Amino acid sequence: MGLVIALNKGRIFEECLPLLAACQIQPTDDPKRSRKLIFDSVTGGHKIIVARSADVPTYVEKGVADVGITGKDTILEYGDDMTFYERLDLKIGACRMMTAGPVGVLEPEQGIRVASKFVNIARKYFQGQSKQVSLIKLSGALEIAPLLGLADCIVDIVDTGNTLKANGLEARETICDISTRLIVNRASMKTKFDSVQRLIQQLEEVVENTQPPEQAG
């Protein structure tokens, strides 16, 4: 039975295509040349949906997609009341969710102004620190918020940290580690159990076989 798979567009989509290909799931059209957002698969009757990261959990939760592949940051930001299963860490797109601020500048003890795309993650983190914060939701270029006096610090995904350094910021506290995850619709886990479980097992084997020796196992 074919599955509808929602994929996070961008880096995750590009890195996941080889994993899916190893599971004999390949789009009929070349995604790099096509402007399509829904692809049929060469074999197996699967469909692949290319979606914005924030929409992948919604498609899975509402049953539009049987499974979804997106970042842990998207899942955490979606909230604690999610009604889908998180079943597999694909171990790609690894990075960290961190706080960051101007080099050498201390944050105020209370009333911290925090700029972030991930306001739910930021809120939960600072509540756990028993700190009062004022959250400012931005969609991009978070690094300039402290430089313009809009925020005391930011909460964002950090990979190399080079962008922070280039803008006079430093990484501070790690909130959580981030990587790409496979999520499954609850109803599909029952009605398409064999197909879902086969995909999970195939991806587990592919992930295991593609990890460097020091990380494998």
Query: What gap in Å lies between CA 144 and CA 101, rounded to an integer?
Result: 10
Residues 144 and 190 in one domain: no
Residues 203 and 172 in one domain: no
pLDDT one-digit tens code per residue, 19-31: 999 999 999 998 8
Residue with tokens 């080889």: 18
In this structure, is residue 216 part of a structural domain?
A: no
The CATH number covering residue 50 comes to 3.40.190.10
Question: Comparing C-alpha atoms, which of 78, 25, 18 is closest to residue 52?
Answer: 78
Q: What is the mean pLDDT of residues 137-142?
A: 92
Query: What gap in Å lies between CA 188 and CA 197, rounded to an integer?
Result: 10
Query: What gap in Å lies between CA 12 and CA 72, rounded to an integer?
Result: 11
Yes or no: say if 57 and 65 are a contact pair by the CB < 8 Å rule.
Answer: no
In the three-class reduction of DSSP (H, G, I as helix; E, B as strand; rest coil), residue 104 is classed as coil
Yes or no: say if 14 and 74 are a contact pair by the CB < 8 Å rule.
Answer: no
Query: How much is the mean pLDDT over the chain?
Result: 92
Structural domain total, the chain: 2
User: How far does CA 11 lie from the centroid of its chain?
Assistant: 10
User: How far does CA 28 lie from the centroid of its chain?
Assistant: 25
Quote the tokens at residue 34: 């096509």
Could you tell me what percent of the chain has a pLDDT over 90? 83
In this structure, is residue 217 part of a structural domain?
A: no
What is the DSSP code (8-state) at residue 53?
A: G
Burial classification of residue 93, based on how many CB atoms lie within 10 Å of its CB (0-12 exposed, 13-18 middle, 19 or more buried): buried
Q: How many CB atoms lie within 10 A of CB 34?
A: 12
Residues 8 and 89 in one domain: yes
pLDDT one-digit tens code per residue, 68-96: 999 999 999 998 777 899 999 999 999 99
pLDDT band at 121 (very low <50, low <70, confident <90, very high): very high
Residues 8 and 84 in one domain: yes
Q: What pTM was computed for the model? A: 0.89
pLDDT recorded at residue 107: 87
Which domain range does residue 10 map to?
4-93+179-210
Yes or no: say if 45 and 27 are a contact pair by the CB < 8 Å rule.
Answer: no
pLDDT one-digit tens code per residue, 49-69: 999 999 999 999 999 999 999
pLDDT recorded at residue 140: 85
Residues 150 and 85 in one domain: no
